Amino acid sequence: MQEAIFLMHDSLFKHIEIRTSEKLTDYEKEIISDAFAKKRMRKRQFFLQEGDVCKHLGFIVKGSSRMFSVDEKGHEHIIHFGLESWWLTDPESSIQLIPSRYFIEMLEDSELLVISLPDVYELRNKSRGFDLTFRALDKFSTIAMHKRIHAAIGMTAEERFSDLSSTYPEFLKRFPMNMIASYLGLSPETLSRVRKNAIRK
Amino acid sequence: MQEAIFLMHDSLFKHIEIRTSEKLTDYEKEIISDAFAKKRMRKRQFFLQEGDVCKHLGFIVKGSSRMFSVDEKGHEHIIHFGLESWWLTDPESSIQLIPSRYFIEMLEDSELLVISLPDVYELRNKSRGFDLTFRALDKFSTIAMHKRIHAAIGMTAEERFSDLSSTYPEFLKRFPMNMIASYLGLSPETLSRVRKNAIRK
DNA sequence: CGGAATCTTGAAAGTGTTCAAATCAAGTGG
DNA sequence: CCACTTGATTTGAACACTTTCAAGATTCCG
């Protein structure tokens, strides 16, 4: 089992080294390994539930997730998906330490690396590579969210779907269409019709 | 005029000290002052134009702005507004050094403090307060964009407007309704009708 | 005082949702 | 391996919401 543990952390090391274009030192690898705990989660398990304060950060080694809210009518709205090398957190809850309005649910049996938020703060001060990774992630997610806002307020249903197809083709392979619809802010019926029209072209 | 310059930088110092809950040292104030240039811009001037690479970061001392894109049909979509103490940048363009898809236009005669991106990077390494401010800003904007996405994909026109009214009441005082409509992803006509209905309640 | 935006209103057209039902696919227990 | 249940997807029809286009009212500003 030791080997499996090593492999899991290795996927995180690789992620950091790619994001920062720098090699991690042995010391950095050691303190990072120590701070992250591995956690297996099964399909439909919740990493975070509405009302809880988000006190941990998760890194997806294997598997997938969705982050969604439930409105008064009981309708779900998917804010984010997660795949390998993506991070799990509710920034609003974890930064302000308030109860979350969201659920984060695993969509497949998954392997995660989990770290507490105080430990994130400490690691950022101890490891330059770790700190740079989080700066880069903030930038990356800012760009992604900008695009998402632009799509949501300025595009038609077809445009949003075709945009998604080219930006995240993986989503279409891994997630059911009703969830894709929710992510795009459409009803499943509308997405079904949009796709039928798109095929004709 | 010296006094006016001092006042402008002072507004930036105050912003940083509030965001970080720490006092800036005299040394930090000095290097920050040196790195930022003051710039007056008149209403309708562009801080950034589509096609240009965003190489500067602006801090609004006084005035207001909007960031918007123009689609193929010539329709404008407002992604962001800016007010006093807000920052001006296109993250996508400035991080990836690619031509921007957006315009950033001043909506009132404004006073800005402007810094080049390499200087931002350098200052973050030299001044802890400056670095912490940008970390905090990243978090703050992440939360705001999350909410925006949630509103755009999950709320009706009325809900979005009432959400805006409570979150950014200042917007309604400072910006014309056709721009508010664009920010919400609505036509001006629809917003006008939404407001009429909202008043009755 | 114009002239140019801005805001409102009405009617027609377009887009997306809801509801209901049928089809299809996957997983479960016998 | 089959029957059954559950979830996912598609289709149709009626409905609701939003846009578009056109016109009138209001406000702002030189």
Instruction: Strand D: list positions under 7 Å from protein Cβ.
Output: 7-13, 17-22
Q: Do A91 and B139 touch (CB under 8 A)?
A: yes
Is A187 near chain B, with CB under 8 Å?
no
Residue B2's pLDDT is 44
**Which of B71, B141, B184 is opposite residue A142, by nearest beta carbon?**
B141
Where do the domains of chain B lie? Answer: 2-126
Q: What is the mean pLDDT of residues B17-23?
A: 93
A4 pLDDT more than 60:
no
Q: Which residue of A has its CA nearest to B156?
A: A185
Is the Cβ atom of B124 within 7 Å of strand D at any atom? no
Is A142 near chain B, with CB under 8 Å?
yes
> Distance between CA B66 and CA B104 in Å, rounded?
6
> Distance between CA B131 and CA B134 in Å, rounded?
5
**Which of A77, A95, A145 is opposite residue B145, by nearest beta carbon?**
A145
Q: How confident is the model at residue A1 (pLDDT cuts 50, 70, 90)?
A: very low
Q: How far is the CA of A183 from the C1' of C2 (A)?
A: 51
Interface of A with B in 150-179 (CB under 8 A): 150, 152-154
Minimum distance, in Å, between the CA of residue B3 and any CA atom of chain A? 36
Residue A197's pLDDT is 87
Is the Cβ atom of B180 within 7 Å of strand D at any atom? no
Residue B200's pLDDT is 58
Q: How confident is the model at residue A165 (pLDDT cuts 50, 70, 90)?
A: very high
Is A103 near chain B, with CB under 8 Å?
no
**Which of A146, A150, A184 is opposite residue B91, by nearest beta carbon?**
A146
Residue B25's pLDDT is 94
- The helix/strand/coil state of B117 is helix
Q: What is the mean pLDDT of residues A4-23?
A: 86
CB-based contacts of A160, cutoff 8 Å, min separation 6: A151, A152, A184, A185, A186
Q: How confident is the model at residue B62 (pLDDT cuts 50, 70, 90)?
A: very high
Q: Given CA atoms B139, A106, B149, B52 in this order, what sign does their dihedral have?
A: positive
Q: What is the mean pLDDT of residues A61-71?
A: 93
Interface of B with A in 65-84 (CB under 8 A): 69, 71, 75, 77, 79
Q: What is the mean pLDDT of residues B23-27?
A: 94
Domain B2-126, classified CATH 2.60.120.10, yes or no: yes
**Which of B138, B141, B149 is opposite residue A148, by nearest beta carbon?**
B149
Residue A200's pLDDT is 57
CB-based contacts of A34, cutoff 8 Å, min separation 6: none
Residue B6's pLDDT is 60
Query: Which one-letter DSSP state was computed for residue B128?
Result: H
Q: What percentage of chain A has pLDDT greater than the value 90?
A: 83
Residue A3's pLDDT is 46
Closest nucleotide (C1' vs CA) to B158 is D17
A28 pLDDT more than 80:
yes
Q: What is the mean pLDDT of residues A98-111?
A: 94
Residue A2's pLDDT is 44
User: Taking the C1' atom of D27, which residue's CA lies nearest?
Assistant: B176
3-state helix, strand, coil in chain B (%, to 5): 55, 20, 25
> Distance between CA B95 and CA B76 in Å, rounded?
24
Residue A180's pLDDT is 97
Q: How far is the CA of A165 from the C1' of C22 (A)?
A: 28
Query: Which one-letter DSSP state was computed for residue B73?
Result: T
Q: What percentage of chain B has pLDDT greater than the value 70?
A: 96
B89 pLDDT more than 80:
yes
A21 pLDDT more than 50:
yes
Q: What is the mean pLDDT of residues A176-186?
A: 96
Q: Which residue of B has its CA nearest to A102?
A: B150
Farthest CA pair distance, chain B: 56
The model's pTM is 0.90
Q: What does DSSP say about strands A110-116 and B76-82: parallel, antiparallel, or unpaired?
A: unpaired
B1 pLDDT more than 50:
no
Q: Do B79 and A150 touch (CB under 8 A)?
A: yes
Q: Which residue of A has its CA nearest to B137?
A: A138
Is the Cβ atom of B156 within 7 Å of strand D at any atom? yes
pLDDT tens for B147-183 read 999 999 889 999 999 999 999 999 999 999 999 999 9
Residue B72's pLDDT is 80
- SS3 per-residue string spanning chain A: CHHHHHHHHHHHHHHHHHHHCCCCCHHHHHHHHHHCEEEEECCCCEEECCCCCCCEEEEEEECCEEEEEECCCCCEEEEEEECCCCEECCHHHHHHCCCCCCEEEECCCEEEEEEEHHHHHHHHHHCHHHHHHHHHHHHHHHHHHHHHHHHHHHCCHHHHHHHHHHHCHHHHHHCCHHHHHHHHCCCHHHHHHHHHHHHCC
Q: How confident is the model at residue B3 (pLDDT cuts 50, 70, 90)?
A: very low
Q: How confident is the model at residue A6 (pLDDT cuts 50, 70, 90)?
A: low
User: What average pLDDT does the structure give for chain B?
Assistant: 92
Residues 147-186 on chain B lying near strand C, CB distance under 7 A: 176-178
Q: What does DSSP say about strands A76-82 and A46-48: parallel, antiparallel, or unpaired?
A: unpaired
Are the beta carbons of A69 and A79 closer than 8 angstroms?
yes
Give the DSSP H or E segment for B173: helix B169-174
> Distance between CA A83 and CA A170 in Å, rounded?
9
**Which of B92, B147, B154 is opposite residue A146, by nearest beta carbon?**
B92
